[in-house]
Structure 1
């Protein structure tokens, strides 16, 4: 369900199995993230090219050592070339270390910027986006998909330059040493390219399936952990474990398919490499016996042929990294390209003085096209008036709060606060005029003061005043004793009643002219409810309040009651007027109190603000 009662169609956010091929548009957008770090990219590529060039020298040194020093028996020259070999080896390792460091640094900085941009964009998206997209799948964008792009920048895009330079360099040296022997080596290349092409196609699909299963597993895990109390309450542990095992097994099988493909591909490549070495040994050995080639050149040729196939094999792996990055970037940019459906107008209207008037004018709204939740409702709440909204589940009560705070926009009609259409308000200014308390209070992990003073610039004195006003004396005492009082994840270190008191204090701390109370006392005990009621009797005086009620006992003393039925406003009046009318409200009231005595003390205690 959505945060305001809307169904969450997971299918709308399902992953697709397709993995896009190299997309120049996506590549251009990815490289834009590298823009601030061009110097790092240049240094990484330069160091990699130097490493590749230095590595090309070693077989030539071996050839020279054999032909010029070992065969003639020149020990002095052999010592000198061995020392040179070791020095170049040390230089190569030093350059390789610097290359790996700067490449990883580049990747981490790019990923840091990308995660920040994605998270900031998620903060701007409206509630409806999260209704349609499971949180677990959204988290995958920030974790798995971004990590896939990290592989592109650390072991993909930069390494490709080194592989290409190595391949060109070795090919040139092979033909320089012996054209005919080089052509013999190349006879296995077509077979290698064919094997690589088949492998790339199959492994691309296999990795796409792995990503799909990871997203599904994340979505299920997030949902299960969020509702862990219900899992325990209804003894669903075994069933949910079985369901997770199904998801986990699907991920395992998908990943094992990639393992199988690699297990086939690499032995094939090794076999072709060995075949090339055998051909070189056969043909080159014959040439050596005929004195057409030196022993050193033959040994160097064999070493170069082994190095020749390495970049070809690596390029196949880089291709898979590139394919995974294209798929991940497509999903990430799809998220980043999702425009916030609800934003402040370019030129906001001038905010009038905070009187607290609320007007709904022929408002129609539906979460899904063609399925209206509110059907042309109209009402006016005067400044300082307290109004309750009642109705059966699904009548549209909570939807009213979502429209008033502009979490959603109306399909037709208008909502005005203090005479100004909510669409003309700056969002920050609009929401700063409204305090809202919901039945299920949400607290962020961290300090108590942080959760009360969520709005910027709220002084400490105001936070303490809010806690004192709602009767949270114990919490206030703890805060004054220990400034770093921690509420725990989702407020789990506080009792249910304490969490609700914090939610009340949060709503009151910035002194809003309008209060929205969505069955706000349903989750607290009787003593806490009485404390809140006494505080609200004072605070609601002169302040507009809209009470969403599921229990009619909580609204007998409001100024006016609105009765919704199937998205329409069917009755309006005071508690006594509606009972006397004998309509839908009277039937609701009769059902709630059927078979019960209604003594005066019950009625007196029922006047609870919720």
Structure 2
């Protein structure tokens, strides 16, 4: 299980500057938020000071008119503070949510552009954590982190200034316990920082495990691995529980300790202040105001540790998000060639390709497919068939050589235009939790129901779609769980044909279906190939026999090519492969 042990640095200038870039579109609101924060800092010591003034000047002198006036002023100041507090709380939350929305949109747009190679090497659960949990942590940074911490610091400064101005002796006595509180706050901050880092790692690991194993639940159950996977889940969940319990423990220790320290300061203040009042060095109003000051002073100190760690976890989350945003492993889209239509001629010229470094899975591959022709790729597992069909659509970049469509290098095409002309049907059909219509159009509103039904009729899927409750509006469960294998395959054909591509790339999938469905799929394949350039990984004998050219691959190299009959006459690599894999199928049929 991969862990990311980056606990972050609170003053990481690079991360902070990147975070600030997301703030720029909302800078006016941020300035307003800072102004409200300053206002709260100024208003914090106002109430104790007014109470002190009221006691010493109106209550002690029994001045009822003056007392009534001060009560009204106190109420007005309290209402003003409540209003500013409301505006501050709402604006900080509003600002945080808008920034989080912008970041999440940018992150998702970035993820959409990454190469398939990135997804080959990155657990999906980790990406879910980045896009959901880590960004949600940033919401806390802007809601309860930056602005709140700034407010706490300003409150401390203003309260300390007023206390010092009012009575420096009482100030020193009441704050004599401050070093102890600061030390305990520092220890708490360091402990909770590590604990929160462990929690984030545990959440990431938990998300990854749950996402992968729910997606692959059929494999888990097929191999009766439920108990083993349950034990593994319990282990990961225990790590998550223990990490959270550590945070609970540190909070459980710190807050009572902080309360005891604050109470000690209050006790010293009352003891010294009472003597001062009795001896005439201080007034009763001053003593009562100082009791209020010290409570106001110690509360933000207790909160700052929490705010600090919220900010620190935000830095950790920001660092992870920024690293993902900085991953520029994109397929370059520098091409500008964007024809409305193409004929569909495809040619590989001395193509070399490796997923990792120089470990080539395709070696010096050269072949040509003319408009309207069908090429079948055959070979053992790992021969390089899937790699070839992935390269035509530029899902991966080749290392050496050239791939052309209509005699134009695929790199010169606008990437989206190139893929518009190429229809790909893979063995593993992925359907989303949405309607049949949405699964076929993928949200393209320009595609009409008539176009969908025409394409469905072409591949023989119209009748089964119309029989579904709601027809095109029928809601497909995740990965098409409520549909048969054959139905899912037919939908993938409709999804491809609704765009009327000129090149069809087909990884045939007729295993695990009954003979009637297999016949439907074969008819659909024949309809799709009609008048189009077709490149197919051949699983069926019919595709091999009807192909204009058969390319035999082994360990990334072309061993033979030619028609079915030509290759059988050669009695070479293909003849042996045919004897092993296809002869039995022919006898059965």
State if a TM-score over 0.5 links the two structures: yes
1:311 Cα offset (Å): 1.9
* Aligned equivalent of 1:380, options 343, 358, 368: 368
- Contact 2:337 2:412 (8 Å CA) reproduced: yes
SS in 2 for 1:556: helix
Moved more, 155-164 or 398-407: 155-164
1:465 CA displacement: 1.0
Q: Alpha-carbon deviations, 1:299-335, whole Å to 9, x = none? A: 1112211211122222222211111111111111111
Shifted more, 41-50 versus 238-247: the winner is 41-50
Aligned Cα RMSD in Å? Answer: 2.3
The equivalent position to 2:144 in structure 1, one of 145, 155, 161, is 155
Whether contact under 8 Å (1:500, 1:524) holds in the other structure is: no
Q: Does 1:125 align with 2:114?
A: yes
Task: Give the C-alpha shift of residue 431 in structure 1.
Answer: 0.7
Deviation at 1:142, TM superposition (A): 1.1
Which moves more between the two structures, 73-82 or 484-493? 73-82
Q: Could you tell me whether the CA contact under 8 Å between 2:509 and 2:539 is conserved in 1? A: no
- Classify the secondary structure of the residue corresponding to 1:360: strand
Deviation at 1:50, TM superposition (A): 2.6
Partner of 1:591: 580
Within the candidate set 390, 399, 424, 1:411 is matched to 399
Deviation at 1:597, TM superposition (A): 8.8
Q: How does 1:74-473 map to 2 (within 5 A)?
A: 74-345=63-334, 347-349=335-337, 351=339, 354-454=342-442, 457-473=446-462
Q: Is the 8 A contact 2:425 2:506 kept in 1?
A: yes
Alpha-carbon distance in structure 1 between the residues aligned to 2:358 and 2:7: 31
Matched-pair contact (CA < 8 Å) for 1:349–1:424: yes
Q: Secondary structure at the match of 1:33?
A: helix
Task: Indicate how the Cα distance of structure 1 residues 308 and 537 shifts in structure 2: closer, same or farther if over 3 A, else same.
Answer: closer
Give the drift of 1:399: 0.9
| Whole-angstrom CA distance in 2 between matches of 1:206 and 1:466 | 56
The CA deviation at 1:34 is: 1.9
Aligned partner of 1:5 in structure 2 is: none
C-alpha displacement at 1:38, in angstroms?
2.4
Whether contact under 8 Å (1:446, 1:487) holds in the other structure is: yes
1:585 shift after superposition: 2.1
1:4 paired residue number:
none
Summarize the Cα distance change of 1:500–1:539 in structure 2 as closer, same or farther, 3 Å threshold: closer
**Corresponding position of 2:559:** 570
Native 8 Å contact 1:415 1:422 kept in 2: yes
Q: CA deviation at 1:244?
A: 1.3
Show the counterpart of 1:497: 486
Partner of 2:519: 530
More moved, 455-464 vs 296-305: 455-464
2:25 to 36, 48, 56: 36
Deviation at 1:506, TM superposition (A): 1.4
CA distance in 1, matches of 2:486, 2:65: 88
Q: Distance in 1 between matches of 2:585 and 2:360?
A: 39
Distance in 2 (alpha carbons) for counterparts of 1:554 and 1:357: 19
- Paired with 2:476 and 2:462, the residues of 1 have a C-alpha distance of 16
- Please report how far the alpha carbon of residue 351 of structure 1 lies from its aligned counterpart in structure 2 after TM superposition: 4.5
- Whether contact under 8 Å (2:205, 2:236) holds in the other structure is yes
| Conservation of the 8 A alpha-carbon contact between 2:164 and 2:171 | yes
Alignment partners' CA distance in 2, 1:420 and 1:205: 55
1:58 aligns with 2:15: no
Counterpart of 2:44 in 1: which secondary structure?
helix
Return the alpha-carbon distance in structure 1 between the equivalents of residues 448 and 295 of structure 2.
Answer: 70
Q: Residue 481 and residue 275 in structure 1: after superposition, are their counterparts in 2 closer, same or farther (change >3 A)?
A: closer
Q: Which residue is equivalent to 1:608?
A: none
Question: How far apart in 1 are the matches of 2:9 and 2:476?
Answer: 45
Task: Please report how far the alpha carbon of residue 500 of structure 1 lies from its aligned counterpart in structure 2 after TM superposition.
Answer: 0.8
Partner of 2:545: 556
Per-residue CA deviation, residues 31-82 of structure 1 (Å, 9 max, x unaligned), is 2222222232233333333333333122123223332344344455444433
Q: After superposition, what is the alpha-carbon deviation per residue over 1:513-550, rounded to whole angstroms, capped at 9, x for unaligned?
A: 11111023335432122123234434423321111124
Larger mean Cα displacement after TM superposition, 257-266 or 183-192: 183-192
TM-score normalised by the chain length of structure 2:
0.94
Between the aligned partners of 2:504 and 2:410, the Cα distance in structure 1 is 16
